[in-house]
Amino acid sequence: MTVMNDGGPLCTFEVVTLFPEMFAGFVGTSLLGKAIAGGLVAVHFTNPRDFGKGRHRAVDDTPYGGGPGMIMSAPPLAAALQAIADARGPAHRVLLTPQGQVFDQARARALVGQSRIVLVCGRYEGVDDRVGQALCDEELSIGDYVLAGGELGAAVIIEAVARLLPGVLGCGMSVADESFSAGRLEYPQWTRPEVWRDRAVPPVLLSGDHQAVARFRLREAARRTRDRRPDLLARHPLGAEEIDALREETDAAAPAGRPGKKRPGP
């Protein structure tokens, strides 16, 4: 299965998976669907089963040393990767595995420079260790939990990278301002109605004072990061402006409706 366009995409993703059908809705929907339709992104799928061994096109085998389950073997994956290179050229190759480096916004940004990215999805109990070493440029995990395969990880990486490509998001500011871009969680946001279940939008946001709004957002982003993700602050310490802003008491009282606070009623 191939989802592509002919207009020179900014990034082409090549997914190596036993289950390409898992991506059917994903590649046709919303942001990614529009990016593919608009020619900014292309996604191809290659099934290692097509390169499997014997009548049953086997792609897995029992682990050396014993143990439960089956391991994806190297030759079908190597053949799949070779077929992709022959058909469409070289690419940056990523193996999805819970043993990889943890994928984050910085790694998404680092992948933005690649014009072709192959995402190799493991299944079963794992992938022959030589696949990562001999065939891939890096191994990535989408978090410290074990999934049944790399497909959801591949989808996460495709979406995180695609939305950073110029033109994929409607508004360039959305990327610059968002959570993690500067080691901060994003400031909280509200929309109408102005008061909902007795919770009012902070008055400063209705003031029309752009400087005050910017200061409020700087402070709330710093506050949120300090309270929820101190690990991010350890890597990106508070700046003088943020320290000042956090000390300040303004007319904007504690923001409404913080998750984790008591929620009366349904």
Residues 32-71 that bind ligand ADE (CB under 6 A): none
Contact region with ligand ADE (CB under 6 A), list: 35-43, 55-63, 67-75, 141-149: 141-149
Residue number with the smallest Cβ distance to ligand ADE: 153
Residue 95 or 222 with smaller CB distance to ligand ADE: 95
Residues 66-105 that bind ligand ADE (CB under 6 A): 96-98
- Minimal distance in Å, beta carbon 155 to ligand ADE? 11
Contact region with ligand ADE (CB under 6 A), list: 9-17, 78-86, 148-156, 239-247: 148-156
Please, are residues 17 and 151 in contact by the beta-carbon 8 Å criterion?
Answer: yes
- Minimal distance in Å, beta carbon 103 to ligand ADE? 8
* Distance (Å, whole) CA 138 – CA 135: 9
* Distance (Å, whole) CA 162 – CA 39: 12
Please, are residues 128 and 160 in contact by the beta-carbon 8 Å criterion?
Answer: no
* Distance (Å, whole) CA 77 – CA 127: 10
- Token pair of 256 as six digits: 């409404």
- Minimal distance in Å, beta carbon 143 to ligand ADE? 5
- Minimal distance in Å, beta carbon 54 to ligand ADE? 26
Residue 16 or 201 with smaller CB distance to ligand ADE: 16
Does the protein bind ligand ADE through residue 153 (CB under 6 A)?
yes
- Minimal distance in Å, beta carbon 249 to ligand ADE? 43
- Name, in order, each residue with C-beta under 8 angstroms of 62's C-beta and a sequence gap of 6 or more: 70, 71
- Minimal distance in Å, beta carbon 69 to ligand ADE? 13
Does the protein bind ligand ADE through residue 127 (CB under 6 A)?
no
Q: State which of residues 106, 146, 195, 243 lies at the interface with ligand ADE (CB under 6 A).
A: 146
Q: Where are the alpha helices (DSSP H) in the chain?
A: 24-28, 30-37, 74-88, 105-111, 129-135, 151-162, 173-177, 210-228, 230-235, 240-247
Is the backbone peptide bond immediately before 76 cis, with ω within 30 degrees of 0? no
Please, are residues 177 and 186 in contact by the beta-carbon 8 Å criterion?
Answer: yes
The continuous run of DSSP H or E covering 44 comes out as: strand 41-46
User: Footprint of ligand ADE on this chain (CB under 6 A)?
Assistant: 96-98, 122, 141-143, 145-147, 149-150, 153
